[in-house]
Amino acid sequence: MSELHPRIAVSTLSTWNWSLDQAIDLFQRLGVPAIGVEYKKAVADPNGSLAAIREAGLSLSSVTAHTIGADLLAPVDERGSPALRALKPSLDFAAAGGGKPCYFVSGPTPPRTPTDELVDALIAAVPPLLAYAKEIGVPLAIEHNNAALRDSGYINTLHDCIEFSEQTGVGICLEIQNCWIERHLPELFRRHLNRLAMVQVSDFMVGETTRLNRRVLGDGFIPLEFLLGELLAAGYTGAFEIEVLGPTIEAEGYESSLRRSLDWLNERLVKWDA
């Protein structure tokens, strides 16, 4: 594979069942410039993980916060903000890795709880998080995750994510697979460009389940060229982070699926002189 475009990155979520060391080895062989790291894959040895990334000649593009089991909506107690306690290790890892974006999802949906109530509670929990992220120089972002994953997040549209960002100052991790069906995307990209901390890219086959099920770039139904072109036209200058996962990725294998995704994205970014 020829040298990849410098704005390409790959999330370790694309190697779902592998360790961070295995992912690093593959990404190095594929010539990936930067990687998005799930903090849960680095939590056992954060310093060693960062050292391994650097030794492989890679850099961080983002950090996926590790908040499993945390209650981000719990009220402040005698130890301070539970939300900050949950995200602080991930934020510190992002700071040590060069101050790249650290993003999180809103958290599990409690039974029979209205979405408005949940979002209002999360808005109230954000200030300590944002203050600490700014203090250590890390862009804090929230991802609008898929509605089929309400067990991990209840902010499921780009429109709602933008509203949350407007009310809190938290940036946006724009996941194309989770918003491509929404209307007026080019306008949203232009109007809210300054809120985009990062962009994640994958494809999807209409007719299949949307739960943890993505395709190699170019293999599905998403108008990726149109959407990436609109992001570039809006003035987006950040990385495009590939995040592919699911049954077809497992069946094909991580190396083949990532190689094809990298080729697809690289060809277009080079052609567009992005």
Give residues with Cβ within 8 angstroms of 251, minimum separation 6. none
- SS3 category, 77: strand
User: Which residue reads 């594979």 in tokens?
Assistant: 1
Q: From residue 215, give the alpha-carbon distance in Å to each of 126, 146, 210, 221, 229.
A: 33, 15, 11, 9, 20
Per-residue tokens: 185: 């995307």
Residue 2 pLDDT: 72
C-alpha of 177 from chain center: 11
Identify the structural domains of the chain with CATH numbers, from first to last: 8-271 (3.20.20.150)
Rg over alpha carbons for the chain, rounded to the nearest Å, is 18
Residue 56 pLDDT: 97
Residue 165 pLDDT: 98
- SS3 category, 123: helix
At residue 44, what is the residue type?
A
The overall longest dimension of the chain from CA atoms, in Å, is 56
Q: For each successive 10 residues of the chain (274 residues), what is the average pLDDT?
A: 90 98 98 98 97 97 92 92 97 98 96 97 97 98 96 96 98 98 98 98 96 97 98 98 98 98 98 96
